[in-house]
A = this chain, B = another copy of it.
Amino acid sequence: MKKLPLSPEDHWIRRWTKSLKDLSTSQIRHGIGHDCAVLSSFPSHLDVVLKTDAVVEGVHFTRSTPAGLAGRKALARALSDLAAAGATPRAALITAGCPNLRSASRLHQAYRGLSLLAKQFRLSIVGGETIRTRQLLLSVSLFGTVPKKTSPNRAGARPGHLLFVTGKLGGSWPRRHLTFTPRLAEGQWLVRNKFPSAMLDLSDGLGADLPRLARASRIGFRIYPDQIPLSPRATPKLAFTRGEDYELLFSVPPKLAPSLLRRWPFPTPLTVIGSCLPIHQGYQTDGLPLRGYDHLR
């Protein structure tokens, strides 16, 4: 009788995923270790939300970044996008890449950082795979839900709507981009209460993300630089260009704004930074640059 071999890949998958077993819920029919993850369906009053996002060594973190924080960031970024959709994360798939088995312990640490954050948000990791890449890489695919027909996108802002941001901007470096808390509770509350006409998360800086919202909604905008809520030592210019704030940017019809400001139940700051204009009035930023961080730069 032969002993069944465990390939190095299977060995590492088993090691990485051992700590994740307790995340599984009764809704998971097949999880890690099968060809696909299978979940029982969700009620029909919910829409399905899908998102994929990756972090790469040398781009989103450096060789000296603690690997646990890199893993945490991989998941937190994707959760931030679900926050902008007002969605509740349900399950994640993780693609983990590293150059060789020597670097696999760093990947293992990354996986642990990621799974701690998953636990915090009661998110199940239901599958994934390992690949060989020249630099450490973590790609997260999220499956979530949102009440039917409520999820805002980038296209609903109208002239006259006010532009809000959560939190403080421009302070992502050196550390906050690794430790930020995705605004899931805030995003879900905003959507449940139907405040945002359009919403996205600020990943590349106001200078890049405002134009995305404006293009999708076919509007112009005016920003008041001295109204931008700033992190310590940040400037309005950094809030436009530095990126990685992972706060929510959203538009609200003016008649809803007083109610929003009164009812906002979170300690997270909430600030009006400008308003939407008819498209022919253009993009008024008092000279702040309309460019942000570009991943292919």
Binding site for B on A (CB under 8 A): 1-2, 4-5, 7-10, 12, 29-30, 33-54, 56, 58-59, 81-82, 84-85, 87, 91, 93-95, 97, 100-101, 104, 126-135, 137, 139, 141, 143-146, 148-149, 151, 153-155, 199-201, 204, 208, 211-212, 214-216, 220, 280-283, 285, 290-292, 294-297
Q: Of B29, B46, B200, which is within 8 A of A47 by CB?
A: B29
User: Which one of A43, A133, A294 has the greatest number of beta carbons of chain B within 10 Å?
Assistant: A133
A129 touches B54 (CB 8 A): yes
A38 touches B44 (CB 8 A): no
**Closest Cβ of chain B: how far from A2's Cβ, in Å?**
5
B38 touches A151 (CB 8 A): yes
B50 touches A8 (CB 8 A): no
B30 touches A151 (CB 8 A): yes
A91 touches B296 (CB 8 A): no
A100 touches B296 (CB 8 A): yes
B141 touches A93 (CB 8 A): yes
